[in-house]
Structure 1
Amino acid sequence: MQYLHAVALVVPDYDAAIGFYCGRLGWQLAEDIDQGRKRWVRILPPGASQGSLILARAEGPEQEAAIGSQFGGRVGLFLASDDFASDHAAMQDQGVLFEEAPRHEPYGTVAVWRDPFGNRWDLIQFA
């Protein structure tokens, strides 16, 4: 058996990213392990037991330039919801920037949003 454990997301600062995802969006801080010059920071969306993000602080100009554009300007992260309307409203209440109104596609209800670092996400409830 194989499964995708985590995806690394390059961010400018660990604590700012934890503050947004865990503080504002209610994600779970699963691990925050000091490794000297860097930290192992793993977070999970509310209610999730797997499928985590590793928050990776940028080191050097090349990684700093990748912040917010790791997916070439495309949506690169997909946050699945079992209650789109409720999650969408809660995220808006927390000041999350949605690029569009929710739309209905054959695969489900979706809206594109950005985190404070410029990463584009889909909030999606599958049909």
Structure 2
Amino acid sequence: MRIGVTSVFVDDQDKAEAFYTDVLGFQLKHKVPLGEYHWLTVVSPADPDGTELLLEPDQHPAAKAYKSALSADGIPMMVFTVDDIDTEYQRLLDRGVYFTQPPQPMGQVVTAVFDDTCGNLISLNSPVATD
């Protein structure tokens, strides 16, 4: 068994597609019309056949409440792993990404948290180099 698709609730699929592809650098995998919305997934260019991230509309009231509660408490919706957090942090700052937390050591990882413009906080994690 393996994870094929995971999702993040977004308030606007078009805005989410632009942010996750143009700003973050993910690749569009699927965009299938489903009535008013799409089955809209992105993947890492480093693993195009790997886990897909579904940019799922947050139209269900429970989804909106869930997102709002997590964001209000400063809890990231998901974690993306990067090799060099300082380089990625600067790259995303240069692209206008708003960080709620700059890179900080947290045990065996360094984390930074940003706002995905779609109602979610996302954590970047990078393993701490061990000598």
TM over 0.5: yes
Partners of 2:24 and 2:66 in 1: CA distance? 20
Return structure 1 stretches of 4+ with deviation > 4 angstroms.
none
The answer for the alignment partner of 2:81 in structure 1 is 80
* Displacement of 1:116: 0.6
Which consecutive unaligned segments of at least 5 residues does structure 2 have?
A: none
* Displacement of 1:88: 0.9
Partners of 1:71 and 1:92 in 2: CA distance? 23
The answer for the alignment partner of 1:22 in structure 2 is 21
> CA offsets, 1:23-60, max 9 Å, x none?
11211001111123331101123413323210112335
1:1-127 equivalent positions in 2, closer than 5 A: 2-49=1-48, 50-59=50-59, 62=61, 65-66=64-65, 68-69=67-68, 71=70, 73=73, 74-127=75-128
Q: CA RMSD of the aligned region, Å? A: 2.1
Kept in 2: contact 1:11–1:67 (CA 8 A): no
Identity %: 24
Kept in 2: contact 1:67–1:117 (CA 8 A): no
After the TM superposition, which of the residue ranges 69-78 and 30-39 deviates more from structure 2? 69-78
Which consecutive unaligned segments of at least 5 residues does structure 1 have?
A: none
